[in-house]
Amino acid sequence: MRLTVSIALFFLSIVAFVAPARAQVITAGPDSVIVSVPDTATADDNRFFLSKWDRPAKAALFSAIVPGLGQAYNKAYWKLPIVYATGGVLAYFWIDNNNKYQDYREALLIRTDGDESTIDKYVNSNIYGTQRSNGTDNLKRARDFYRRNRDLTILLSIGAYSLQIAEAYVHAHMKEFDISDNLALKVQPNLIQVPVQAAVTPGLSLTLYTKSK
């Protein structure tokens, strides 16, 4: 009898080793039963990864890939002009500030290279070229001014990019809230028990009622 049990357990161990995800031993002994177990883990792994995400996560991902795509996913199409107008304005100021920064930087390098034969583009300007020493200081101030504006525009662009991602995420969350007429909020006086003093104190209670459809 013991030999029979040992042989049965040996064959069951082989089966469990060959197909561990498809069979499971419920009991050990002469009455052992093999029960089929569905391979749900493999089925879940084979699904497209976006199918496992909720709606807010998808909206945030779409906005991160393409600005405004999350708003379109939420069907808030009126927000798209705001997103792209903000991006266009920031792009314009970045290009303008960067071009002026490069111009003043190049002019300052030419003016301070020690070669009198090289002339910068602002040498005849009434503002920057009246006196060479004053003009050089003015060029430095102008270079630093437009460099700060360019860097500030980059920071604002990062902030606007992050803000539209957050807006798409929050909007998708808000769309899942029930704000229909089936909700009711009741405010009524109540007595609140104070645990420390074993007494009660007057107060207000807010009760949210939901009505079934």
pTM beyond 0.75: no
Domain boundaries, the chain: 2-45, 52-175
Contact between 103 and 97 under an 8 Å Cβ cutoff? The reply is no
67 pLDDT band, cuts 50/70/90, is very high
Residues in the chain, overall count: 213
Q: 138: how many CB neighbours lie within 10 A of its CB? A: 19
190 pLDDT band, cuts 50/70/90, is confident
Question: How does pLDDT run across 71-128, given as a tens digit for each residue?
Answer: 999 999 999 999 999 999 999 999 999 999 999 999 888 888 877 777 777 776 655 5
| Per-residue tokens: 57 | 């996560």
- The residue-averaged pLDDT of 40-45 equals 53
